[in-house]
């Protein structure tokens, strides 16, 4: 039998990520860093262990079962093995809870997103409901609705698998994704102080979640986005079945195929008004800050996984008499991916640090303004970096990168949605301009850049030396790699 290529392997994803460790060393006090190091190392080991089984089950996708054997409408969704285990894992690791616990103060968000960064690439995109859960918790807290905060937030931020909930985010309708002003779902008073929802939601990710936040137009309200209200729903009754909700179908998507995304019809779903019966779009703003950050961290997590696999493969695969890593052009390609990855990592964790700072010091107006500016920038940049970089990863594996059961194509397909979720490129560009105008101009941005540059070691400009410190560049002594070219064409409007 001839030569058989040895597949790439994953080691401990914390120990083998010097960029993450260096970033945490810069951003966290020594006592916080030492406190979280054991759990990050343990999670780094676990996610590497989960990956082979997920690759082996790459073709297993959620399945909608509308009726039971006797014709009863049940609308159950069968999930992959990992998705069935994921809620308990998320609770155990505190992937939402860590951002709300007081022990690390303003550093809580950096801690939380270090966990999320390690987790996401081995999560079959279970990070999506976690992002919406985190966003829902922040949105409810900001709303001041004490009854809903007491009802839902302890579940959303629980470390107990028996009490942990995830949340959906039902915004998208057939009239548009980013343009929520055309929302057609109607909310009608139920005569008992509550509401019922009637309409159709076209794109509802993680339909298996225990609750959701959704926009609807109170009956009789005027047209436009300002007349929308934000509602809280628990889709299932005590018997576990949907009430006033029918799953029309699960979406056949390009990627994120393990994530059960549904089209649903609402016909009397009980709902609770979160705030006043208008200004619902404004009320979801705290949610967007959080979900856009999760989106950015997911992007760099997927790119990191592709890079880790490509680097290991380059050390094992021999071509033309030597390992791929010893071919200068291939080494240069991997170094380019490493540079883009580390740039995205820095940007994502800058936003995480700012979020923690603003949550613990709400009077810090400069930090709040910078967070408002950088959040759409980070989401935009990391989403596009991930797609471009993972396309390079596919190519780095040659024909094997195009074969489904290597697991490589899944990374690229899953990353593609990250430039669509939570605002497409053009939507985010316009949002950044609005943020700059609200902050009083680009001065806050300029001051932040100058502070960063002032903190760089002598002789460096505009970078912390990601290219120079990447393992490939150190080994090969290669020059700074060329920038990965990315298309500037606009994306399709859409959201979760």
Write out pLDDT tens, residues 424-456. 999 999 999 999 998 777 888 888 888 888 877
What letter would DSSP give residue 236?
A: B
Q: How many angstroms separate the Cα of 75 from the Cα of each of 104, 172, 206, 235, 264?
A: 42, 21, 14, 12, 11
Q: Is the pLDDT of residue 373 over 50?
A: yes
| Helices assigned H by DSSP within 57-185 | 81-93, 108-120, 127-143, 146-156
Q: Is the pLDDT of residue 479 over 70?
A: no
Q: Name the nearest CA neighbour of 135 among 112, 97, 167, 93.
A: 167
Element (H, E) at 230: strand 229-233
Dist CA 377 CA 380 (whole Å): 5
- In 10 A of CB 461, how many CB atoms? 6
- The pLDDT assigned to 118 comes to 98
Q: Which residue has the higher pLDDT, 457 or 234?
A: 234
- Structure-block tokens of residue 331: 């080494």
Class of domain 284-476: mainly alpha
Question: pTM of the entire structure?
Answer: 0.92
Cα 453 to the center of its chain, rounded Å: 29
Dist CA 457 CA 467 (whole Å): 15
CB neighbour burial string for 89-115, b if at least 16 within 10 angstroms, e if fewer: bbbebbbbbbbbeeebebbbbbbbbbb
- The pLDDT assigned to 3 comes to 63
3-state secondary structure of 163: coil
Q: How many angstroms separate the Cα of 242 from the Cα of each of 28, 75, 184, 245?
A: 44, 7, 21, 6
Report helix angle 328-360 to 18-27, nearest 10. 30
- In 10 A of CB 75, how many CB atoms? 19
Q: What is the largest CA-CA distance in the chain?
A: 78
Dist CA 417 CA 96 (whole Å): 22
Residue 239: CB partners within 8 Å, gap ≥ 6?
A: none
Instruction: Answer yes or no: are the C-beta atoms of 457 and 383 closer than 8 Å.
Output: no
* Segment 184-196 mean pLDDT: 96
Q: Is the pLDDT of residue 148 over 70?
A: yes
Label residue 460 by pLDDT band (50, 70, 90): low
| CATH T-level topology, domain 167-280 | Butyryl-CoA Dehydrogenase, subunit A; domain 2 (2.40.110)
- The pLDDT assigned to 459 comes to 60
* Segment 102-111 mean pLDDT: 98
Dist CA 59 CA 123 (whole Å): 15
Dist CA 193 CA 208 (whole Å): 27
Label residue 399 by pLDDT band (50, 70, 90): very high
Q: Which residue has the higher pLDDT, 79 or 462?
A: 79
Q: Tell me the pLDDT tens digit for each residue of 151-180.
A: 999 999 999 999 999 999 999 998 867 788
Q: Is the pLDDT of residue 233 over 50?
A: yes
Residue spans per domain, the chain? 167-280, 284-476
Residue 57: CB partners within 8 Å, gap ≥ 6?
A: 80, 81, 82
C-alpha neighbours within 13 Å on the C-beta side of residue 184: 11
Label residue 467 by pLDDT band (50, 70, 90): low
| Helices assigned H by DSSP within 241-327 | 280-283, 285-316
Label residue 468 by pLDDT band (50, 70, 90): very low
Over its C-alpha atoms, the chain yields an Rg (Å, rounded) of 23
């Amino acid at each position: 039998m001839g030569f058989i290529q040895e597949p790439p392997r994953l080691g401990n994803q914390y120990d083998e990520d010097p960029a993450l460790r260096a970033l945490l060393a810069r951003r966290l006090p020594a006592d916080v860093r030492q406190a979280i190091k054991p759990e990050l190392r343990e999670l780094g080991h676990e996610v590497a262990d989960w990956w082979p089984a997920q690759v082996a089950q790459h073709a297993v996708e959620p399945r909608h079962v509308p009726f039971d054997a006797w014709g009863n409408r049940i609308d159950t969704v069968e999930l992959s093995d990992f998705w069935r285990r994921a809620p308990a894992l998320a609770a155990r690791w505190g992937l939402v809870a860590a951002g709300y616990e007081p022990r690390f103060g303003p550093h809580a968000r950096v801690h939380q997103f270090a966990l999320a960064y390690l987790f996401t690439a081995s999560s079959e995109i279970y990070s999506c409901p976690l992002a919406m859960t985190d966003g829902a918790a922040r949105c409810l807290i900001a709303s001041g609705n004490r009854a809903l905060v007491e009802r839902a937030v302890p579940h959303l931020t629980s470390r107990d698998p028996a009490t942990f909930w995830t949340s959906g985010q039902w915004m998208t309708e057939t009239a548009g994704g980013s343009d929520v002003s055309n929302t057609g779902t109607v909310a009608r008073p139920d005569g008992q102080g509550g509401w019922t929802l009637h309409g159709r939601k076209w794109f509802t990710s993680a339909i298996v979640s225990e609750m959701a936040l959704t926009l609807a137009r109170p009956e009789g309200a005027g047209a436009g986005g300002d007349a929308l209200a934000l509602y809280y729903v628990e889709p299932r009754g005590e018997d576990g079945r949907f009430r006033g909700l029918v799953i029309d179908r699960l979406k056949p998507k390009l990627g994120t195929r393990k994530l059960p995304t549904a089209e649903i019809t609402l016909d009397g779903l009980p709902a609770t008004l979160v705030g006043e019966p208008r200004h619902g779009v404004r009320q979801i703003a705290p949610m967007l800050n959080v979900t856009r950050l999760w989106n950015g961290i997911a992007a760099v997590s997927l790119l990191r996984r592709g890079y880790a696999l490509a680097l290991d493969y380059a050390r094992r695969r021999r071509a033309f008499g030597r390992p791929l890593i010893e071919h200068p052009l291939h080494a240069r390609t991997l170094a380019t991916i490493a540079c883009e990855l580390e740039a995205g990592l820095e940007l994502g964790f800058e936003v995480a640090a700012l979020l923690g700072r603003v949550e613990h010091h709400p009077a810090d107006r400069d930090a709040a303004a910078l967070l408002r500016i950088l959040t759409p920038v980070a989401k935009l940049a990391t989403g596009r970096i991930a797609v471009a970089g993972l396309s390079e990863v596919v190519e780095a594996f040659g024909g094997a990168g195009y074969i489904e059961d290597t697991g490589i194509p899944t990374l690229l397909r899953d990353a593609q949605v990250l430039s669509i979720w939570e605002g497409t490129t053009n939507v985010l560009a316009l949002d950044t301009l609005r943020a700059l105008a609200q902050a009083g101009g680009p001065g806050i941005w300029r001051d932040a850049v100058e502070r960063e540059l002032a903190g760089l070691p002598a002789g460096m400009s505009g970078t912390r030396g990601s290219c120079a410190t990447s393992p490939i560049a150190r080994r090969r002594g290669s020059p700074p790699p060329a920038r990965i070219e990315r298309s500037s064409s606009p994306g399709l409007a859409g959201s979760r």
